[in-house]
């Protein structure tokens, strides 16, 4: 699949009247995912939010986006996901101050069982599903488990925001341009246990960890700053990240459908095939390359003891989340 095919790309977005939706819809409509290919937006909300969503649709209309081919809104996932080529599952309750993502498991898990089942019934044969709503990795696992006819490889959870945060922090530290930084990797869960890894990253072709030359900064500043950025934004804004999450959601979908550039990779949370010792079946973040709508985990990276411990800790958290949603009967 790529965005070059003919006809509009049907993009379903859940939680469309929420904070992220308010940024995301305008980016999608102006071509951030599909470029010049027309897009049709199919927007899902819960009943009480449909009036607010109607207002957002008025604003979308008022932008007169040249490539916005149509908009449908509603609260029935089977209607809204009908024929969707791309489904961006954003709608879920965000965490507030003091909450950890694990607190959201039961609150949000049920949403993803119903949406997985609906996608299974009515989405297009080539559908790709990106999960932004938290806890994103485990929500993707729940949706995939409830969509037995859709290949598991079509589900991915968003760690692109963490990837972008890591690039930005590294650029600020080294004075490099963000465009000079390649091969950044986020491993594991989109949570505070995630492992942003610069040991394989490059800055203008040089190993990033060597350019930084300061292991203490990597361990004590860089990793926690990236991993806890979501909480820092909640503390500062009183609400979770929205515009940056929308931007990362677009980046991830665009690269998934159109491919990663030669000589670089991106971070996506995808179903593990056991690569790098990550328990098979967990939705965990890896370095991946993409082509024609398919992804491949980058193989052969050397993992030292420091990185091993960090990856294992985040994967253990994912295994715990999987056990919790199994006990809740969600998968
Ligand atoms: P928000 O509360 O502003 O919006 C969520 C919207 O989802 C609401 O409008 C709500 O009515 C809707 N919704 C709830 N249940 C629904 C359902 N069953 N079907 C359709 N819509 C439904 O929240 P937000 O700030 O837009 O964040 C959305 C999610 O994204 C949260 O879970 C948040 O934690 C997560 N998030 C993830 C990342 C990431 O990097 N993965 C980054 C930021 C936020
Ligand atoms: C983020 O990383 O900004 C989001 O996942 C919101 C959160 O709860 O941290």
Q: Can you give 262-327 as a three-state secondary structure string?
A: CCCCEEEEEECCCHHHCCCCCEEEEEEEEECCEEEECCCCCCCHHHHHHHHHHHHHHHHHHHHHHH
- Please tell me if the CB atom of residue 303 comes closer than 6 angstroms to any atom of ligand 2: no
The rounded distance, in Å, linking the Cα atoms of 130 and 41 is: 15
- Please tell me if the CB atom of residue 45 comes closer than 6 angstroms to any atom of ligand 1: yes
Considering only CA atoms, which residue is closest to atom 7 of ligand 2?
230
Element (H, E) at 212: helix 208-212
The rounded distance, in Å, linking the Cα atoms of 308 and 303 is: 6
Q: How far is CA 293 from CA 215, 222, 258, 259, 273, in A?
A: 37, 32, 7, 7, 18
At 104, list the tokens: 């959201």
Report residue 2's pLDDT band, with 50, 70 and 90 as the boundaries.
Answer: low
Mean pLDDT on 115-130? 98
- Please tell me if the CB atom of residue 135 comes closer than 6 angstroms to any atom of ligand 2: no
Percent of the chain scored above 70 by pLDDT? Answer: 98
pLDDT score of 20: 98
pLDDT score of 57: 98
pLDDT score of 110: 87
Taking only the tens place, the pLDDT of each residue in 223-255 is 999 999 999 999 999 999 999 999 999 999 999
pLDDT score of 4: 58
Task: Name residue 131's beta-bridge partners.
Answer: 89, 157
The rounded distance, in Å, linking the Cα atoms of 160 and 268 is: 6
Our answer to whether residue 163 is catalytic in this structure is no
Decide: 174 and 204 in contact? Cβ < 8 Å. Answer: no
Taking only the tens place, the pLDDT of each residue in 264-307 is 999 999 999 999 999 999 999 999 999 999 999 999 999 999 99
pLDDT score of 109: 85
The ipTM assigned to this model is: 0.99
The rounded distance, in Å, linking the Cα atoms of 144 and 271 is: 9
Res. 1: pLDDT tops 70: no
Report residue 94's pLDDT band, with 50, 70 and 90 as the boundaries.
Answer: confident
pLDDT score of 97: 80
Report residue 3's pLDDT band, with 50, 70 and 90 as the boundaries.
Answer: low
Report residue 101's pLDDT band, with 50, 70 and 90 as the boundaries.
Answer: low
Average pLDDT score, the chain? 96
Of 257 and 6, the structure prediction assigns the larger pLDDT to 257
Res. 98: pLDDT tops 90: no
- SS3 state of residue 47: helix
Taking only the tens place, the pLDDT of each residue in 30-83 is 999 999 999 999 999 999 999 999 999 999 999 999 999 999 999 999 999 999
- Please tell me if the CB atom of residue 183 comes closer than 6 angstroms to any atom of ligand 2: no
pLDDT score of 321: 95
At 303, list the tokens: 């993992």
Question: Ligand 1 pocket test: which of 91, 133, 245 has the largest number of ligand atoms within 8 Å of its C-beta?
Answer: 91
The rounded distance, in Å, linking the Cα atoms of 109 and 94 is: 13
Mean pLDDT on 167-176? 98
Q: How far is the CA of 279 from the centre of ligand 2 (A)?
A: 24
């Amino acid at each position: 699949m790529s965005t070059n095919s003919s006809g509009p790309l049907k993009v379903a977005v859940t939680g469309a009247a929420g904070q992220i939706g308010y940024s995301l819809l305008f980016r999608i409509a102006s071509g951030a995912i599909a470029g010049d290919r027309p897009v049709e937006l199919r927007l899902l909300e819960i009943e009480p939010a449909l009036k607010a969503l109607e207002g957002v649709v008025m604003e979308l209309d008022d932008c007169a986006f040249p490539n916005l081919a149509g908009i449908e809104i509603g609260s029935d996932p089977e209607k809204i996901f009908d024929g969707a080529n791309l489904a961006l599952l954003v709608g879920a309750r965000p965490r507030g101050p003091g909450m950890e993502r694990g607190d959201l498991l039961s609150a949000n898990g049920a949403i993803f069982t119903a949406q997985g089942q609906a996608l299974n019934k009515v989405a297009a044969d080539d559908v790709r599903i990106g999960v932004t709503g938290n806890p994103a990795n485990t929500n993707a696992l729940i949706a995939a488990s409830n969509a037995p006819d859709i290949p598991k490889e079509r589900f991915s959870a968003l760690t692109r925001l963490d990837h972008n945060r890591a690039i930005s922090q590294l650029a600020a530290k080294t004075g490099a341009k963000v465009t000079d930084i390649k091969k950044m990797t986020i491993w594991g869960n989109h949570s505070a246990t995630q492992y942003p890894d610069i040991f394989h990253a490059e800055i203008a072709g040089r190993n990033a960890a060597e350019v930084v030359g300061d292991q203490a900064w990597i361990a004590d500043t860089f990793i926690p700053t990236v991993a806890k950025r979501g909480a820092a934004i909640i503390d500062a804004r009183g609400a979770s990240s929205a515009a940056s999450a929308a931007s990362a959601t677009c980046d991830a979908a665009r690269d998934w459908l159109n491919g990663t550039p030669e000589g670089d990779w991106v971070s996506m949370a995808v179903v593990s095939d056991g690569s790098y010792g990550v328990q098979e079946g967990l939705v965990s973040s890896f370095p991946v390359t993409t082509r024609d709508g398919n992804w491949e985990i980058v193989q052969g990276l050397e993992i030292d003891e420091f990185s091993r411990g960090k990856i294992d800790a985040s994967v253990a958290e994912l295994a715990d989340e999987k056990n919790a949603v199994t006990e809740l009967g969600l998968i």
